Amino acid sequence: MATEVANSTEILQELKSIKSELQYLKEHMVSSDMILTKEEEILLSKAREEHKNKKTTKLKDLMRDLN
């Protein structure tokens, strides 16, 4: 009987430890929306290059042209 109680206590302690670690992981996990695919990296690089070379349109100019 004493062995069963000791085992139950150890199991509960281990579960609490796992729960704590799981909570930490949830809080520090990177959102999948924050990771770029290879295709997205290429598109971002291209967009940055176009912006650097002034080949982009300002939003206010685009909105004006569309209206």
- Give me the pLDDT at residue 5, please: 74
20 lies in the same domain as 44: no
**How many structural domains does the chain have?**
2
Question: Would you write out the chain's pLDDT as a tens digit for each of its 67 residues?
Answer: 778 877 899 999 999 999 999 999 999 999 888 899 999 999 999 999 999 999 999 999 999 999 9
CB distance 49 to 43 below 8 Å:
no
Task: Give Rg (Cα) of the chain.
Answer: 27
* Helix, strand, coil abundance in the chain, percent, nearest 5: 80, 0, 20
Burial (CB count within 10 angstroms: exposed 0-12, middle 13-18, buried 19+), residue 29: exposed
40 lies in the same domain as 67: yes
- Give me the pLDDT at residue 51, please: 96
Structural domain boundaries, residue 45: 36-67
User: What are the angstrom distances between the C-alpha of 60 and each of 38, 42, 51, 67?
Assistant: 30, 26, 15, 11
